[in-house]
Structure 1
């Protein structure tokens, strides 16, 4: 099982030490970087592979909220802070959980499990399925069964040949996770399985299931290039 690569960013050395000790106790987490300096953490993230950031919200050089705005949707976050009023701001971003200091190991472990649920965990690129949490249950979805994925506010609708799954996630996050397979973004609200394309028109395409999906003007060139 692939480990989740973790980064810790907090301006308090004691808080970093505590979180480092917690990460070391969980088999599916791997600490790859920690720092009191959010600027150094940004540099690391831009140049190295990581998956999950344990991020303090209130830091003097750069707030956690602004940190997330800079990094964007390629990361998932567990927010850590002593100030509960920041929780709502944090959940506007790709946040898995919110931890209020002082953080117990039991509460940290629950956050780690939440994070594990949000990742596609695979041994190698030959995997043909992933799991998503929908309606309180974990569902196995085969890549070949997916027709399209549609963004619906804070959720996505993963539509397969037989069923649909409403999942708390972002289209950008799934676009990054599915980039190794035959999926592509064709609209600000849609990702499609290219193996399901029946034909392509000027403003829309039709899938093998006869569903019509709009093609955004800014995505058309990339779609046609991939087909070629």
Structure 2
């Protein structure tokens, strides 16, 4: 998702930017400290999710909501509790966070936005990849895991392996949310995991390492699938 953070407090902007960096669903983050700056950014492009402070030095959050497209998800982030109930009169507002914000509560709001985005744009569970001199259709639900092989990726299915000239970085944006990067060389289908322990995970008797930096996100995303 492409995200915009609107708050005149630089500490809040820094905190929310840090939180966004911990969430794989958010790919781009922009910040604005005034209402006019926000309007200019909105006029220059669209956003999937906006974290919006109600009290800004020039234009308040309510005025910004009045000019937003109805398909833009907004999470209000403010200490103005009085606007809490009124905010849900706006179709764009999907959540209301009261400062100070912790990561757990922040992440729940992001998941609401992600769910709405996926409902509006159903995930493509099939892709075509180059295998030698031909294009092969891959049903992503059948993929066990992906392994980086330099400039190539091994796509592991139940009964075959396809080697395609592509990097994990190039393929990752095309994958549905049930795929998770667990190591610099591996992405796995969360629905195919048989077990997880301190040494990594198992998919059909194949041991796959899990880097420390991906452990928490892996467990969190597995919980969300349940």
Aligned equivalent of 1:87, options 84, 88, 92: 84
Q: Structure 1 pair 101/84, CA: closer, same or farther in 2 (3 Å)? A: same
Unmatched runs of 5 consecutive residues or more in structure 1? 129-228
Contact 2:17/2:29 (CA < 8 Å) preserved in 1? no
Aligned equivalent of 1:120, options 106, 118, 121: 118
TM-score under structure 2 normalisation?
A: 0.51
How much does 1:12 deviate? Answer: 0.6
Contact 1:20/1:31 (CA < 8 Å) preserved in 2? no
Rg (Cα) greater in structure:
2
Query: Within 5 Å, which residues of 2 pair with 1:1-228?
Result: 4-93=1-90, 94-120=92-118
Task: Report the RMSD for the aligned CA atoms in angstroms.
Answer: 2.3
TM-score under structure 1 normalisation?
A: 0.51
Distance 1:121 1:24 in 2: 24
- Structure 2 SS opposite 1:53: strand
How much does 1:74 deviate? Answer: 3.6
Contact 2:20/2:29 (CA < 8 Å) preserved in 1? no
Greater than 3 Å deviation, 4+ residue runs? 121-128
How much does 1:70 deviate? Answer: 1.6
How much does 1:32 deviate? Answer: 3.3
How much does 1:96 deviate? Answer: 1.1
Contact 2:4/2:51 (CA < 8 Å) preserved in 1? yes
How much does 1:125 deviate? Answer: 9.1
How much does 1:83 deviate? Answer: 1.8
